[in-house]
Amino acid sequence: MNFIINNNIMINKRYIWIIYILIILLFSLVHSEIVLSKEKCKKKNRIIECSEDVCTENTYVYYNYEGYYCRNSKTLILIEEDGYYIDSSITNNGKQTHLIKRRTEIDGEIIFESVFGRNGYYINSGSDHEDYALILCYAKNGCITGYVSNFGYYIPGDGIGIIFCSENMQCKLEKEVSNYYINAGYQRKKYPLIYCRNGRCSGSTQVDGYYLMHTYSNLLKCYNKQCDIILANPGYYLNAENKKYNIMCIRFNANVSCGRRLANVGNYISGAINVLLNCMSEYCQEDELHDGIYRASTTYDLVPNGSQRDSKNTKTMFNLISCQNNFCKELNTTEINDIPICSYSNQICFIKQSHIKEENIKNYLSPGEYCTNENHSKLYLATDIISLKEESNTFHLPFKENCISASKEYNDNYFFISNKIYKIDNGKIANINKIGFYFINTSINKLVESDNIDDYNNDNINIFYCNGKYCYSWEKPEVITYFTNNSNRIFKYNPHYNDISFAYDHDLKCTYNDDNSCIISENMIEKETENQEIELCVTSNGELVLLLPPKDTSNHFLPPHLPYQDLRETQSINETSRTSSTETTTTTKIRRNNILSYLNNKGNFTVECIKAKNEDEPIYGLTNHLYQLELKSAKIISNNGHYIINKKTNKAIEYDDFKAVNQFLKIYKCTKGQCEPIFQPSSEYFYYDSISQLMVKYHNNNSTWELLTNSGYVYASITPNYVSIFKYYSLPNHANINSIQKKENIIH
């Protein structure tokens, strides 16, 4: 039999039966409140005693509009404390989905409800609340305890207020809440923050920046999906919630208080370290802090002398922010008045004569200096000499461009002027001197950041190096050199071909620790190939780190120490070293790739490594090659000679190293770019150190080193496998070499 509905839908009787059966099955999976027999159960005061099993011990049930605790399978006790309890009398497919809520009205009336457990947390009032302070309800498992609550904030199931759990796992509901909290709940991966407004709270996704908290002296700092609570400093912060606003923190007596305010056009001095808050456009952003001059967001009124303050006579002037050595300040009126005023037209500037009133004000500007317009809203960078307009004549007018107006037009450009790299933008002239290498196409003044190596070998590319104070054109070295650019990519320069290439297909990213260990991420290792020699990794700030061969695999290529042979007064010597000459090639092959093999085989992502600590203090280390390692470059030692290093610092030896009671030195010998340690130096002659130009001698009897400080004749080895007598000159008061000359006819 069929039924016709609306002339379009036909329902077969068989389908009606299927729907009916499904409904029956659904209700069979959902069990409601328990049913007690009046004959077998008797209630007296707050206790129900039964002659048969009616519940599960230590659970809670909802019966006859009341909540009960099941003390044992036959005894029910009325719940006496307000709060939430898991209702075991209602289940859905084996999951407990409801809670018993007990509350006391203002008039003292006690009300019980069986409520559906919405996704979220509830403070557990059950018998296990001392162990498990919270009840967690979510679709997958229903409502459960057994969830160990950590210190932090949780979203309640009803979204009203916020649950705070202290370090001793005491939890309470806070209803007077506002702003942002770090989410400690199970939803924290999807919603790392909790946002509360008008007492209602919900999960919030995280955007990089800062968030106001319920305590106005603290802020939430979120970057790369990680949020932390920080103590606010006076200044401005990037408001992640709405970047048309910023967060202003000011000091009241001993306390700092923060609030939200609409941003004005300009730059703000940030309370965060090494950043400036840039609000020159519609939305604010954080800029990396560089030395320079910036248009401030604040203004002041200038009233001409003798004039009354009114809208006709008053001029709005912009303040300026000056940053030097990571410290920024707004200039005062005197400092602003010392800044030259320029006229500008089509990249040609003149200093205005009307501004030159004081003798201490310059009447010209050199390349790299700056001036402003009348109200300081525009900044101009001198690319050539800027002079007084009145001093210029038809024969000396600078028809050649001599300045740039700091505007958005140039925000992608880098200008090298007078040993400095300048980055300009609207309201900004910044001096880039951060330590590192910069590839700049000087024909278009653009920084090269490309995955195509041909772009770095362009004829218009100049490589500049900045040492933290000034920059200069990099003189290409005569040895193979590795270095990183501003994007933390590792490059290799080969002087034989005058060629720059990427060092590796995929650079190893690593985290360097002060104990000379490096952590390398697992996904970076998986990208590498077995055919590559991996000797260097790069940190997040572009510093090069030398990876050392693992100690537990070093025995694979370290032969036993050979007895030392003293070949006095001969021209061929053979100190005990890592390998014999016949083993050098084999050693290099075995040593190659053992870093990656070790990491892959051991499942361990921590290796021994070394890194330079300061820009002007290079260190030395041996892997497949002996490297001179600076912060952002590493040169392969290719000159023949001996290289003596302090074991503790990995630096070249110094005069003071020999004043110490315990001397920790190691010596390498290098021939045609192949270097290896000398484990048992000779006691018969001095070694000449190619780095420090010191003469040192090892004494086997007491394991000490002697520094030669007197001038005269010395029996020494200048290069590996060669020993003779030389004439030696020592400079006064220290042990540097003045010159070395071979003494003829000494060796017979």
Would you state the structure tokens that stand for residue 286, as one six-digit string?
């954080």
Residue pLDDT, tens place only, 110-142: 999 999 999 999 999 999 998 899 999 988 889
pLDDT at 15: 54
What pLDDT sits at residue 324?
94
Tell me how far apart the alpha carbons of residues 591 and 104 are, in angstroms, rounded to a whole number.
76
Q: Taking all residues of the chain, what is their mean pLDDT, rounded to a whole number?
A: 83
Asked if 61 contacts 70 with a C-beta cutoff of 8 angstroms, the reply is: yes
Instruction: Report the candidate in 400, 405, 395, 407 with the shortest Cα–Cα distance to residue 384.
Output: 400
- Is residue 667 predicted with pLDDT exceeding 70? yes
Give the tokens for residue 653: 């030896």
Average pLDDT over residues 268-296: 95
Q: What is the predicted pLDDT for the residue at 574?
A: 47
Instruction: Give the confidence band of 157 by pLDDT, cuts at 50, 70, 90.
Output: very high
Q: Provide the whole-model pTM.
A: 0.78
Ordered strands of the 641-646 beta sheet:
576-577, 674-680, 665-671, 641-646
Give the percent of the chain with pLDDT over 70: 80
* Long-range own/partner contacts, residues 620-623 (CB < 8 A, 24 or more apart): 620/645, 620/650, 620/651, 620/652, 620/668, 620/691, 621/546, 621/548, 621/650, 622/668, 622/675, 622/676, 622/677, 623/535, 623/546, 623/547, 623/548, 623/549, 623/591
* pLDDT at position 461 over 90: yes
- 654 against 744, higher pLDDT: 654
Could you say which DSSP state residue 244 is in? Answer: T
Residue 410: φ, ψ to 5°? -110, 15
The predicted structure's pLDDT at residue 6: 43
3-state secondary structure 158-199: CCECEEEECCCCCEEEECCCCEEEEECCCCCCCCCEEEEECC
Structure tokens at 473: 């054109």
pLDDT at 513 over 50: yes
Q: What is the mean pLDDT of residues 538-566?
A: 61
Beta strands in 217-369 (DSSP E): 218-223, 226-231, 235-238, 245-252, 255-262, 266-269, 275-279, 285-288, 291-302, 315-324, 327-330, 342-345, 348-351, 364-365
Looking at residue 280, its pLDDT comes to 95
Pairing of strands 544-547, 695-699: unpaired
Q: Pairing relation of β-strands 66-72 and 59-63?
A: antiparallel
What digits encode the pLDDT tens for the residues 54-111? 889 999 999 989 999 999 989 999 999 999 999 998 888 888 999 999 999 999 999 9
pLDDT in tens, 224-252: 878 999 999 999 999 999 999 999 999 98
Neighbour tally for 118: CB within 10 Å? 15
Kindly tell me the burial class for residue 396, based on how many C-beta atoms sit within 10 Å of its own C-beta (0-12, 13-18, 19 or more): exposed
Residue 745 has pLDDT above 60, yes or no: no
Summarize the chain as % helix, strand, coil (round to 5): 10, 45, 45
Amino acid of residue 691: I
DSSP 657: G
Across the strands, what pairs with 460?
A: none
Q: DSSP letters along 531-558, please?
A: TS---EEE-TTS-EEEEPPPGGGGGGT-
Task: Write the DSSP assignment of 286-320 as a string of letters.
Answer: EEE--EEEEEEEEEEEE--TT---STTT-EEEEEE
Judged against a pLDDT cut of 80, whether residue 423 lies above it is answered with yes
Q: How many whole angstroms separate alpha carbon 485 and alpha carbon 474?
A: 12
- pLDDT of residue 394 exceeding 50, the answer is no
Give mean pLDDT, residues 713-732. Answer: 85
Among 401, 397, 400, 345, residue whose Cα is nearest residue 373: 345
pLDDT at 600: 58
Candidate from 21-30, 77-86, 558-567, 711-720 with smallest mean pLDDT: 558-567
Separation CA 395–CA 501 (nearest Å): 49
Place of tokens 């729907």: 19
Range of lowest pLDDT (128-137, 359-368, 574-583): 574-583
Name the token pair of 85: 């309890």
φ, ψ dihedrals at 604, nearest 5°: -115, 130
Please compute the mean of the pLDDT values over residues 454-460 and round it to a whole number. Answer: 94
Of the listed ranges 13-17, 462-466, 574-578, the least confidently predicted one is 574-578
pLDDT in the model for residue 625: 93
Joined tokens for residue 521? 């991420």
pLDDT computed for residue 3 by the predictor: 41
Per mean pLDDT, which range of 152-161, 244-253, 286-295, 350-359 is the poorest? 350-359
Q: What's the pLDDT tens digit per position in 283-339?
A: 999 999 999 999 999 998 887 665 555 556 678 899 999 999 989 999 998 999 889
End-to-end CA distance of the chain: 126
Task: Encode pLDDT of 169-201 as tens digits.
Answer: 889 999 888 899 999 998 888 899 999 998 999
Let me know: does 291 contact 325? Beta carbons within 8 Å: yes
208-222, 388-402, 553-567: which range is least confident on average? Answer: 553-567
For residue 166, give the amino acid letter. Answer: S
